Amino acid sequence: MTKITTAQAGGVDHVDVRALWYDEPLKVALRSERLEVPTRDIALVRTHYSGISRGTERLVFTGNVPESEFQSMRAPMQDGVFPFPVKYGYSATGLVEKGPKELIGRPFFCLHPHQDLFLASPEALVEVPCNVPLRRATLAANMETALNAHWDAASGPCDSIAVVGAGVVGLLVAHLAARLPGADVIVIDSNPARAEIVEAFGASFALPGDDLPDDRDVVFHASASGKGLETALGLAGMEGRVVEMSWFGANPVAAPLGGRFHSRRLQLISSQVGQVAAAKRPRWDYARRITAAMKLLDCPEFDLLVNEEIAFEDAPVLLPGILGPESAALAPVIRYM
């Protein structure tokens, strides 16, 4: 366990920490550094878990972040610059060990990269409710994305809704949709193993080759594939809304805007968590949104998503497999304790 040490000169507290860095394409490493622990107004957090975003971090890992998006893709507390080397990640949970007295010993979530001990201002911390385990709380950033997508879609009670792509974000979108009164929700994915989770979340499951409806009020696309986008556009009914949530990075994708796209007057909407949805912006800020997302995680079924964990020490060896296309992981986590 990393320990806080007091330097000889000036009696200043320092801490030696280790963090995960994406050093070059397909290579990750643990690096050590020494942090000066400032005044008691800053919290020192010992990490218990950090969530791995398989979609976004795969783009970072493979060097596929487009140069035009280097700034917008920066994680809130990222070190380094794209493409490499970068210290990336944005779903850490842990306990405050030092800092404001009222925070010490309490559990928090923070948009911080993968690191065993880190500093954060109290304003950057989101308290984890006592009934949400720290492991599950790593889903907060993904839940925030799903919540924002529903705001962008203006989805509501009794809507017929389809979700294309049963990754972690698509499944969270489906979970929220299934709790809209009277909503009819179907999730389409090429992996039949996802059916069990979809049904546990209250939605129905279908494979791309099944007889699919083509009259949905709202369709969310979260498969990060051109074929998935084609499927999503085919599911929307007259003047239906198709919400594109996939992040393709530097990979080109064909948007099939022929067929019935114009005759059905479909709306293709981009949803991205970097901004609060326009309809909510007058009353909602980032802090209120992430706090709401955290409260939504008070549901044991979400533990089905956190289906794989690796030890921090093993991350340089195991993380490439976790981020690989053949991985069955949904919302994997790094375990520090």
**Same-domain check for residues 251 and 168:** yes
Judged against a pLDDT cut of 50, whether residue 77 lies above it is answered with yes
pLDDT at 10 over 80: no
Over 70: is that where the pLDDT of 5 sits? no
CA distance 190 to 161: 18
What confidence score (pLDDT) does residue 133 get?
98
In this prediction, residue 249 carries a pLDDT of: 79
Is the pTM above the cut of 0.85?
A: yes
The separation between CA 62 and the C-alpha centre of its own chain, rounded to angstroms, equals 18
User: Is the pLDDT reported for residue 251 higher than 90?
Assistant: no
Q: Report yes or no on 229 lying in a domain.
A: yes
Total count of domains within the chain? 2
* Other C-beta atoms lying within 10 Å of the C-beta of residue 257: 10
Strand-pair partners of 46: 95, 117
According to DSSP, the residues that pair with 19 across neighbouring strands are 31, 115
pLDDT above 60 (res 254) = yes
> Which structural domain, as residue segments, surrounds residue 187?
145-270
Q: What are phi and psi of 94, to 5 degrees?
A: 180, -170
Domain-located, residue 166: yes
Same domain? For 113 and 17 the reply is: yes
CATH number at residue 230: 3.40.50.720
Q: Whose CA is closest to 217, among 242, 187, 181, 196?
A: 242
Q: Is residue 193 part of a domain?
A: yes
Crossing angle of helices 54-62 and 315-323, in 10° steps, is 110
Q: Cα separation of 138 and 108, whole Å?
A: 10
pLDDT tens profile 118-176: 999 999 999 999 999 999 999 999 999 999 999 999 999 999 999 999 999 999 999 99
Check whether 103 has a pLDDT greater than 90.
Answer: yes
pLDDT at 132: 98
Residue 115 in domain? yes
Percent of the chain with pLDDT over 70: 96
What pLDDT score was predicted for residue 232? 97
Question: Can you read off the two tokens belonging to residue 297?
Answer: 């995680």
Mean pLDDT of the region 79-85:
97
On whether residue 331 sits in a domain, the answer given is: yes
Q: DSSP 3-state helix, strand, coil percentages of the chain (rounded to 5)?
A: 30, 30, 45
- Same domain membership, residue 115 and residue 11: yes
- Can you tell me the mean pLDDT for 95-108? 96
Which two structure tokens, joined as six digits, stand for 18?
């280790």
- Residue 146 exposure: Cα atoms within 13 Å on the Cβ side: 25
Query: Which residue would you say has higher pLDDT here, 3 or 269?
Result: 269
**Predicted confidence band of residue 8 (pLDDT cuts 50, 70, 90):** very low
Cβ burial, residue 309 (10 Å; 0-12/13-18/19+): middle
pLDDT at 98: 94
Q: What is the pLDDT of residue 3?
A: 55
pLDDT above 90 for 13: no
Report which residue type is found at 245: M
DSSP state string for 123-164: GGEEEPPTTS-HHHHTTHHHHHHHHHHHHHHT--TT-EEEEE
| Count of C-beta atoms within a 10 Å radius of residue 294 | 22
**Backbone torsion region of residue 148, taken as left when φ is above 0, otherwise alpha when ψ lies between -120 and 50, otherwise beta:** alpha
Mean pLDDT for the chain? 94
Do 33 and 86 lie in a common domain? Answer: yes
Looking at the structure, tell me whether residues 197 and 134 fall in a common domain.
no
Residues 23 and 84 in one domain: yes
Mean pLDDT (whole number) for 305-313: 97
Q: Are residues 127 and 26 in the same domain?
A: yes
The pLDDT, as a whole number, for residue 4 is: 54
Residue at which a domain ends, from 220, 246, 270: 270
pLDDT band at 272 (very low <50, low <70, confident <90, very high): very high
User: Looking at this protein, which amino acid is placed at residue 198?
Assistant: V
Q: Per residue in 16-40, pLDDT tens?
A: 999 999 999 999 999 999 999 877 7
Q: Is residue 82 part of a domain?
A: yes
What is the pLDDT, as a whole number, of residue 293?
Answer: 98
Segment 57-76, tens digit of pLDDT: 999 999 999 999 999 899 99
